[in-house]
Amino acid sequence: MGASELSVILFELEKALTQNPDGAIVEFGCYSGTTSLFIARMLNQKRAPGVFHVYDSFEGLPEKTALDNSPLGIQFKKGELSVSKKTFIQNFKAANLRLPIIHKGWFGEIDEATVPDRISFAFLDGDYYESVMTPLSLIEDKLLPGAVIIIDDYGNEALPGARRAVDEWQNAHPGRMRVEASLAILG
């Protein structure tokens, strides 16, 4: 994640907090917590009352499907980008930030009851088709009016599944969408 993408995420988070300050913030695909740390800092800075939830397998990438294949993405293999939950927690402790609520598991195994009912902001960094489509399905009925969804890797040709999932979801849920760098911003 580059500085320009991070700026977009934080700008959109701030807008979402202004619109729905007590809505929940969710992040699907937190890896070691780099983006999570920036989100948590802003939530602290704004004294946002909404609860922050992160979801990750902490086992790296799942198996690719045919929808995810790209000659540019051969480096993305099952287990790549693996990091332990312990490392994620240590990164938060080192930054002296309150931990979000951590949900460990593959997105397809998430109990829908663990997803907050009132979401104001969602950041999805699942890389693959199913890892984007599943969270979109989990949150679609829980979004507050004015909520923002940001999906990473929409513009990444090495990860075509992310774009396919967003385009399919957008066709079924017409609304505003724009693209900045590799991010799709919905809402």
For residue 16, give the H/E element and its range: helix 3-19
- Tell me the pLDDT band of 163, cut-offs 50, 70 and 90: very high
Q: According to the model, what pLDDT value does residue 180 have?
A: 93
Residue 149 has a pLDDT of 98
- Binned at pLDDT 50, 70 and 90, residue 65 comes out as confident
CB 130 within 8 A of CB 106: no
In the chain, the number of structural domains is: 1
CATH code of residue 111: 3.40.50.150
Say yes or no to pLDDT of 67 above 90. Answer: no
Q: Which of 62-76, 84-98, 107-121 is the least confident region?
A: 62-76
Domain that holds residue 112: 3-186
**What is the pLDDT, as a whole number, of residue 51?**
96
Please count the CA atoms within 13 angstroms of the CA of 110 that sit on its side-chain side: 26
Cα 10 to chain centroid distance, Å, stands at 13
B/e letters for 91-105, b = 16+ CB within 10 Å, e = fewer, are bbeeeebeebebbee
**Average pLDDT of span 76-101:** 90
